Amino acid sequence: MNRIQSGWMTLLLAGACLIAMNVHSQEEANYDESKVPSFTLPDPLFCQDGTKVDNAGIWTNKRRPEIYALFASQVYGKTPDKKVELTFEVFDEGEALGGKAIRRQVAFYPKAEPHQPRMELLIYIPKAASGPVPAFVMPNFQGNHTINADPGIHISSNWMTEFRKDDKNKDTDPESTRGKASSRWSVDRILDAGFALATIWYYDIDPDYDDGFQNGIHPLFYDAGQNEPRPDQWGSIGAWAWGLSRALDYLESDQDIDGSRVAVMGHSRLGKTALWAGASDERFAMVISNDSGCGGAALSRRRFGETVNRINHAFPHWFCDNFNRYNNNEDALPVDQHMLIALCAPRPVYVASAQDDRWADPRGEFLSAKYASPVYRLLTGQGLNASEMPDVNQPVQGRVSYHIRTGKHDVTDYDWEQYINVASRFLK
Ligand code: GTR
């Protein structure tokens, strides 16, 4: 075996071990409701100094900043204050999808460093629109070109380099992956409902593997002599959320889109990202979490399915280092995920689960929406309209929405139908 062969062998073995570990820990996780420990959640309506939050002013000026700072320093990591100037370049524009849409593709990259990282935003705007439209922005997992078979979607150059590093992708012809993820993207339904859709491949912002934060956007923000984020600074979820805000910067400047009516939506790890983006950037007018699970909508203290310890070991780059303090120590967390949902208030928020997705703890996701509701009620008079978990496929919709649908961890047309329904109510 030469060095290259032995290198691949090591990678293959490492990959096989990771998959085995994942399956193993998914099997070992607790799925028994009677074994969920009893716990006390921090109350979003009491400040750390004991002040009761009984009006919008105290929430906005005192408690919200306090909760946000705790999530920033203990969970996702702080986004550096430093501003990096970006160039936005529209590199493609024209009719697409059989005349139904205008497709626009925009690259953005640091002014000072014109090549890397280069992020690409793909936008479809309903051709029939007569004025600026509301939009959904959602990051994607496998490349912009996988969300639809449209041959005009540019394939990111990072796909050829970063994505192919992964053994299972190394021989893949990117052309063969066009439209591969289209079942998760109800593009026609979205356009027909009068919304634009914008998406960005999360690898373009920060490739999703642990490399000590040498690639992606992190290095742009290092202080002199710094070469990795400090324990309270952002990991990859923070970086992806930053990328979504930069997408919004562009959308605000696009004459066909109403930047004040943009919903941020994400699935799974990107659902965690959408929630953090919505909490961090109040310009997002609505926040949607699809099957975001541990570190997303699910309450950490329930320890049902994926746990803080498991996620920090499997994905050491997603959260900040400080989050490791809470491995097998959830009760010490100064926050829980219902408070992340509360940070989205007063904007409409939607939490969705899937019945077979026990790893993401559907009940824990529901409870977060429920326990965030007192904050929504204080600010808007409306919270989640259910005190018990609804049956499958019986969405509860309003300013705080929740559904659990039949099926597995995924984004389906059913999910989109619900999001469009609520977004039409609030963003149109
Ligand atoms: C899993 C991880 C989950 C979820 C999921 C995904 O392996 O344990 O937290 O984020 O990946 O993003 O698909």
**One-letter amino acid of 243:** G
314 CA closest ligand 1 atom index: 8
Q: Whose CA is nearest to atom 13 of ligand 1?
A: 268
Dist CA 56 CA 63 (whole Å): 10
| Cβ-proximal residues to 363 (8 Å cutoff; 6+ apart), any chain | 33, 302, 304, 389
Pick the closest to residue 175 from 198, 159, 161 (CA basis). 159
Cα separation, 178 vs 184, whole angstroms? 13
Ligand 1 center to 428 CA (angstroms): 32
- Beta pairing partners, 92: 105
Q: Compute the distance from residue 377 Cα to the ligand 1 centre, in Å.
A: 31
Distance CA 392, CA 396 (A): 11
| Whether 159 contacts 176, CB under 8 Å | no
Torsion angle, alpha carbons of 383, 139, 205, 97, to 10: -150
Domain that holds residue 275: 3-427
**Bridge partners, residue 400, by sequence:** 349, 384
Test site for ligand 1: of 237, 269, 337, most ligand atoms within 8 A of the Cβ: 269
* Residues annotated catalytic, as ranges: 268, 409
CA-wise closest residue to 344 among 421, 394, 276, 259: 276
User: Is the CB of residue 238 less than 8 Å from the CB of residue 76?
Assistant: yes
More reliable by pLDDT, 133 or 19 = 133
Q: What pLDDT, on a 0 to 100 scale, did the predictor assign at position 262?
A: 99
Interval 55-74 mean pLDDT: 98
- Mean pLDDT, residues 380-404 taken together: 98
Q: What is the mean pLDDT of the chain?
A: 94
Nearest ligand 1 atom to alpha carbon 310:
8
Nearest-CA residue for atom 7 of ligand 1? 22
User: CATH code at 404?
Assistant: 3.40.50.1820
Instruction: Flag whether pLDDT at 15 surpasses 50.
Output: no
What is the enclosing helix (H) or strand (E) of 161? helix 157-161
Tell me the CA distances in angstroms from 231 to 68, 73, 76, 189, 280, one per residue in order.
17, 8, 10, 43, 19
pTM: 0.94
C-alpha span between 91 and 120 (Å, rounded): 10
Q: Is 103 helix (H, G, I), strand (E, B) or coil?
A: strand
Give the Å distance between the CA of 405 and the centre of ligand 1: 18
Q: How many domains does the chain have?
A: 1
Q: How far is the CA of 269 from the centre of ligand 1 (A)?
A: 5
Q: Are strands 196-201 and 349-354 parallel, antiparallel or unpaired?
A: unpaired
Residues at CB less than 6 angstroms from ligand 1: 268-269, 293-294, 306, 311
Q: What is the pLDDT of residues 146-163, one digit of tens each?
A: 999 999 999 999 998 888
- Tens of pLDDT, residue by residue over 289-308, are 999 999 999 999 999 999 99
Q: What is the pLDDT of residue 63?
A: 98
Centroid of ligand 1 to alpha carbon of 102 (angstroms): 33
Mean pLDDT lowest among 104-113, 177-186, 227-236, 314-323? 104-113
On the question of pLDDT at 86 being above 50, the answer is: yes
Question: pLDDT band at residue 28, thresholds of 50, 70 and 90?
Answer: confident
Q: Give the nearest ligand 1 atom to 295 CA.
A: 9
Write down the pLDDT at residue 11. Answer: 40
**Residue 112's pLDDT band (boundaries 50, 70, 90)?**
confident
Q: What is the SS3 assignment for 325?
A: helix
The yes-or-no verdict on residue 212 having pLDDT over 80 is yes
| Band of residue 22 on the pLDDT scale cut at 50, 70, 90 | low
Q: Ligand 1 pocket test: pick from 202, 203, 268 the residue with the most ligand atoms within 8 Å of its Cβ.
A: 268
3-state secondary structure of 393: coil
The two tokens of residue 71 are 């999530």
CB 344 within 8 A of CB 314: no
* Helix intervals (H) in 135-235: 157-161, 187-192, 202-205
Residue 38: HSE in the Cβ half-sphere, 13 Å Cα cutoff: 0
Length of the chain counted residue by residue? 428
